[in-house]
Chains A and B, each alone.
Chain A
Amino acid sequence: MDEFKLPIKYTTKTNQFILSLIFLLMPFWAVILPFTIGLSLNQIFQVPIIFILFFLVLLFIFLALVFEDNKIIMTRHWLSFPLFLLPRLKFKREFAYQEILKADIVSDLPNKEQIILFFNNNLNITMDLKFFKNIQEIEQFLLTIEICAKNCERSSNLIEYQNKILITELMDNTLSYTKLWDEELNYRFCPTNFQPLTVGARLRNDQFIVLKQIAFGGFSAVYLVTNLNKQEVILKEMVIYNFLTPEQIIKVNELFKREASILAKLNHPKIAKILDFFVENERHYIVLEKIWGENLRLKIKETGCLDENLIIQIAHKLALILDYIHGLNPPVIHRDISPDNIILQNNQDVFLIDFGSANEIISSATRTMIGKKAFISPEQFKGKANKASDLYSLGSTLFYLATAQEPEALTQQELIKFKPNCSVFLNKLIKDLTNLDYNKRPLLSAVLSEIDSVINDLA
């Protein structure tokens, strides 16, 4: 393992100008040099003018070296600044991380942000953000200071700035709050058993290029990718080859192919379409249409629980979608109705993305259960999902929409205990849907007609 060394480019316009000047004049001074050496010794130096030129050449070399140095070098124990910054640092070039006392960011004018580092001995240095190469390097610089400089007090402005960079890079939309940021990260990214694809990775002969990692955990990962037509689509990846015996792998491959082809045949305007599915490098991929908009979990985190009318509308639309998939021959059970899999567009259109069938296959193959505990029905937990399981998940989801809290797992939910002024209808609906005994849950058709009549009453 080599020692850690991170070079970060930092150079001003002046430097670059002087450097280019020197390089332009290079034919001049580069030629004199060998020439003067080649001439015989004592005689040269009796003609002072050549001697002066010689010195001039050395001066140029010196200047070139100084201005060429455009890197801040960070190692595990110290960081060092480029030569041209030395005068400001009283000619101290290297600083151990312990010497950094405070780091701050100021912006006198918009677009003129500066990072200030304070060292002991009253030294400090101000660095303009625009002199860094790009935002990733600024991030690396700040991050290295955060990791290695334990004594450094980072101002809140700096922390906020760092978070801002993180957020804009990872999220689709800019979150206006940063305290939920940690939670969001923890939710979306969990330990995996495999190395997810990195940004820029290419699949299927460059047909897909990974733009962003959206989420990963356990055996699967979700990415935003572009396809050949430069459209953005979602790629779901599942990796289980390293858990199973070769016979099991063949069986699981078959199961995946079957599931994927069943799902690909689904044709509903409100369900994200499966565009393709394939296997590459022993990993299974499903290509899904990208549905724009925020999923309900994120939306509720931002704005709190939804208005009851809206909840009933959403319930209605979801029930219609469920009606479609349950009505197919053979019926398709969604298995993963939860707020993250529901997208609300324009406060009215409801879309379902992502099915839980992959999880099901993985679960049965590895004998572990994977799922969102708050929304999974008891029978699905036991491995015996049926149509009514989707209803349980629907009920739990509605509970979440109404209270902005995840319901307790494997429990029948009574909305009224959390929201005393909710409507009798909604309370009953959720309670019936989340009955632990699947035989006692209402039929989808009954649910649909009930909701229909309530909507008509409201209208």
Chain B
Amino acid sequence: MNDLTTENNLPSYKINYSSLKVVRKFLRHRFSLLNTYKAWYTILIIILFFYFGGFGFIQNALFDLSLNNEFFAKYSFANSTISLIQFISYLFCLTLPAILLVYYLFNQENELILKPDIVILRYFAGIKQLTCPRNLLTAVKFKRKNNLKDDGEILLEFSNKKTVKIQLQYFFDDQSKRFFLAYLQNTPQLNKIDSSLIELLSQPDNQSYTQLWLEALSNEVNISNITNNLSCGYSLYNNQYTILSQIAVGGYSIAYLAYDNITKKNCVLKEYVLSNSVHLEIQKKVLQDIEKEYKILKNLNNPKIVKVLAMFVENSRAYLVLENITGNSLRQLISDNKKFSQLEVIDLAKQMIEILSFLHNLNTPIIHNDFTPENLILDSANILHLIDFNISNYADTFTTSLIAGKPSYTSAEQVKGYLIAQNDIYAMGASLYFLLTHQDPEPLAQSSPKSINPLINKTFDEVIQKCTNQDLQFRYKNVLEIMDDLDKI
């Protein structure tokens, strides 16, 4: 099928590309799936009939006619016509197999090889080859054949006046189409790709639903998926991602560190199990939630918030591909016994405020709802990053009846189902308490780090107390107020 071989550490893609496959597909479809063999059998019979019988009969009839019929005997041109017909029929019968054989052979080894620096189209059993350097590729055009089907001709135009023509239907699966598109998109000087082609080749975001449902419908689910975790070295999405290790496990998902073979960088795969339930309605709902997280993240553009790169569904699991942030979560750092000085914590608090004010001040404000030390990563430059938008929501939507969260960081209002900015402020206060005292704060209670550690600055302690005040009236209403108070320390 497709090969992701690497020569000199650069990937090259070999896509099998054959018109005979199309014929086979056509045949397999014209006759129902199980009947492929019967179809071939029938074709064989029919060919044999015509080869041995039919033309023979026609020839005979004509021969008899020419012999026995006075009409034909009179006119010699009629005779020669008959001979001509006979001749043609012989020719046809004899050359037909030859033609088929040639066609078959010459369609075998067609390949489209996409190397980092050149494009090679091999046809006629590898005898003929069309080679063009990749850096001369100027435009990619697409001529649709049929309005309703995904069929057409792709034209790759090079600046050396050569054009490579590829039939879309010869890419017989989605995998090849994706590789091809990735190859085109990673060609730096190429900026003219027909948009309808991009649509046809890529898997648009909203297709993951469809994909999942269709997969479930055709019962392709592997029963052996009962045991879960992906092991190191496992490949996903047609070898695009290779799992390196498992980094974390959360409420509904598992996070893995993975290597992206196309962009050659590390990334984080967040895996959600889509239970292969009896009903697709159920999977739909779960998938909707994941797509919501994807959409929320996709629209956020902030260096301190993790970026989502892609989303895909495979084997009844949904994956969000996130950028990898090198660093440790605050919880990890504390459990590794890192001690933060008060000044450092104040600096972290200011960064937290920056992140939260960004989220809360968007056109549609986003409440994170899980602003805890596990979800805050500190990188080597001491910049804080926020990850995990799983239970975040656009403000004003009421949540479901089940709660799952970390009690120390969940405000009472959040438990009651309200989605307000003060949920995040409460969680932030609790996180700061955690950083200062190395302990999770008491749930549903106002936290004062100074009561554990008298050395804490009084103003700072008051800030944290105000963040975690159980009464909404007395808690900060927005993060910028906290910033003002922090500046006074």
A-side interface residues toward B, CB under 8 Å? 1-7, 33, 36-37, 41-42, 44-46, 51, 54, 58, 61, 65, 68-71, 73, 76-78, 80, 82, 93, 96, 98-99, 140, 143-144, 147-148, 166, 169-170, 182, 185-187, 189-199, 212-213, 216-218, 242-243, 281-282, 367-374, 376, 378, 381-383, 406, 408-411
Known contacts being A381-B407, A409-B417, is A218 close to B251, with CB within 8 Å?
yes
Flag if A41 contacts B56 (CB, 8 Å). yes
Q: Top 9 nearest A-B pairs by Cβ distance?
A: A45-B57, A96-B148, A189-B282, A191-B252, A4-B214, A373-B403, A69-B32, A409-B416, A382-B443
- Cα A69 to Cα B33 in complex, Å, equals 9
A370 lies within 8 A of B403 (CB): yes
Q: Which residues of B contact A147 (CB under 8 A)?
A: 209-210, 213-214
Bound Cα distance from A350 to B218, whole angstroms? 43
Is B415 interfacial (CB-CB < 8 Å)? yes
A-facing residues in B12-55 (Cβ within 8 Å)? 29-33, 35, 38-39, 42, 45-46, 48-49, 52-53
Residue of A54, A65, A170, A381 touching B444 (CB-CB under 8 A)? A381
Give CA–CA (A367, B282) in the complex, Å.
27
Q: Which residues of B contact A77 (CB under 8 A)?
A: 149-150
Closest residue of chain A to B315, judged by CB? A1
The 8 Å CB contact of A189, one of B175, B249, B285, is B285
The answer to whether B278 and A199 touch across the interface, beta carbons within 8 angstroms, is: yes
> A189, B277: Cβ atoms under 8 Å?
yes
Given contacts A70-B32, A185-B279, A186-B285, 18 further A-B contacts (CB under 8 A): A1-B175, A6-B214, A33-B45, A46-B60, A51-B53, A54-B53, A65-B42, A71-B33, A77-B150, A182-B281, A189-B275, A189-B277, A191-B252, A193-B273, A374-B401, A381-B444, A409-B415, A409-B416
Contacts of B30 in A (CB 8 A): 93
Asked if A213 contacts B278 (CB within 8 A), the reply is yes
Please tell me if the beta carbons of B278 and A143 are within 8 angstroms of each other in the complex.
no
A73, A78, A368, A373: the one within 8 Å of B149 (CB)? A78
Are A367 and B213 touching (Cβ within 8 A)? no
Cross-chain contact B277 with A196 (CB below 8 angstroms):
yes
Q: How far is the CB of A321 from chain B (nearest CB, A)?
A: 23
Contact with A along B243-264 (1 / 0, CB 8 A): 0000001011110000000000
In contact, B32 and A71 (Cβ under 8 angstroms): yes
Query: A194 to chain B: which residues have CB within 8 Å?
Result: 228, 273
Contact of B276 (CB < 8 Å), options: A5, A170, A198: A198
Contact A144 B217 (CB under 8 A): yes
- Decide yes or no whether B404 CB sits under 8 A from chain A: yes
Among B33, B275, B280, the most chain A Cβ lie within 10 Å of the Cβ of B275
By a CB distance below 8 angstroms, the chain A residues around B35 are 65, 68-69
Among the listed A82, A144, A193, A409, which residue makes an inter-chain contact with B251, where contact means beta carbons less than 8 Å apart? Answer: A193
B280: A residues at CB distance < 8 A: 143
Q: How far is the CB of B383 from chain A (nearest CB, A)?
A: 26
**Contacts of B148 on A, CB cut-off 8 Å?**
78, 96, 98-99
**For residue B57, which residues in chain A have a CB less than 8 angstroms away from its CB?**
45, 51
Closest chain A residue to B25 by CB distance? A3
**Contact between B56 and A218 (Cβ–Cβ < 8 Å)?**
no
Q: Give the distance in Å from the alpha carbon of A371 to the alpha carbon of B316 in the complex.
A: 27
Contact status B416-A61, CB under 8 Å: no
Q: Is the CB of B401 within 8 A of A192?
A: no
Chain B residue nearest to A371 (CB atoms) is B403
Q: Which chain A positions have C-beta within 8 A of B223?
A: 198
**A residues near B314, Cβ cutoff 8 Å:** 1
Which parts of B212-242 form the interface with A (CB within 8 Å)? 213-215, 217-218, 220-221, 223, 225-229, 238
Q: Which residues of B contact A383 (CB under 8 A)?
A: 407, 443
Cα of A243 to Cα of B45 in the assembled complex, Å: 63
Q: How far, in whole Å, are A128 and B414 apart by their CA atoms in the complex?
A: 52
A99 to chain B, nearest CB (A): 7
A78-B149, A370-B404 known; A44+B53 contact, CB < 8 A: yes
Q: How far is the CA of A194 from the CA of B404 in the complex (A)?
A: 16
Could you tell me the distance in whole angstroms from the C-beta of B21 to the nearest C-beta in chain A?
Answer: 12
Q: List the A side residues contacting B404 at CB < 8 Å.
A: 218, 368-370
Q: Are B316 and A73 closer than 8 Å at their CB atoms?
A: no
Mask of B146-177 contacts with A, CB within 8 angstroms, 1/0: 00111000000000000000000000111100
Q: Mark B374-405, 1 if CB is under 8 A from A, else 0.
A: 00000000000000000000000000111111
Structural contact, B49 and A54, CB atoms closer than 8 A? yes
Is A195 a contact partner of B56 (Cβ separation < 8 A)?
no
Residue of A nearest to B289 (CB): A191
> Can you give 21 A-B contacts (C-beta < 8 A)?
A6-B218, A54-B53, A61-B45, A68-B35, A69-B32, A77-B150, A166-B279, A187-B400, A189-B285, A192-B273, A192-B275, A193-B249, A193-B251, A195-B226, A195-B276, A198-B276, A216-B277, A369-B406, A369-B410, A381-B407, A382-B407
Task: State the CA gap A205–B417 with chains docked (Å).
Answer: 44
Q: Which residues in B have their C-beta under 8 angstroms from that of A140? A: 217
A371 touches which of B174, B228, B400, B402 (Cβ 8 Å): B402
Q: Are B415 and A410 in contact (CB under 8 A)?
A: yes
Q: What is the bound-complex CA distance between A217 and B412, given in angstroms? A: 23
Residue pair A58, B45 in contact (C-beta under 8 Å): yes
A44 to chain B, nearest CB (A): 7
Indicate if the CB atoms of B174 and A3 lie closer than 8 Å.
yes
Cα A41 to Cα B90 in complex, Å, equals 14
Which of A144, A195, A218, A372 contacts B252 (CB under 8 A)? A218
B209 to chain A: which residues have CB within 8 Å?
147
Residue interface bits B135-152, CB-to-A below 8 A is 1, else 0? 000000000000011100
Is B442 close to A, CB under 8 A? yes
- Among the listed B32, B52, B289, which residue makes an inter-chain contact with A68, where contact means beta carbons less than 8 Å apart? B32
Q: Are A243 and B252 in contact (CB under 8 A)?
A: no
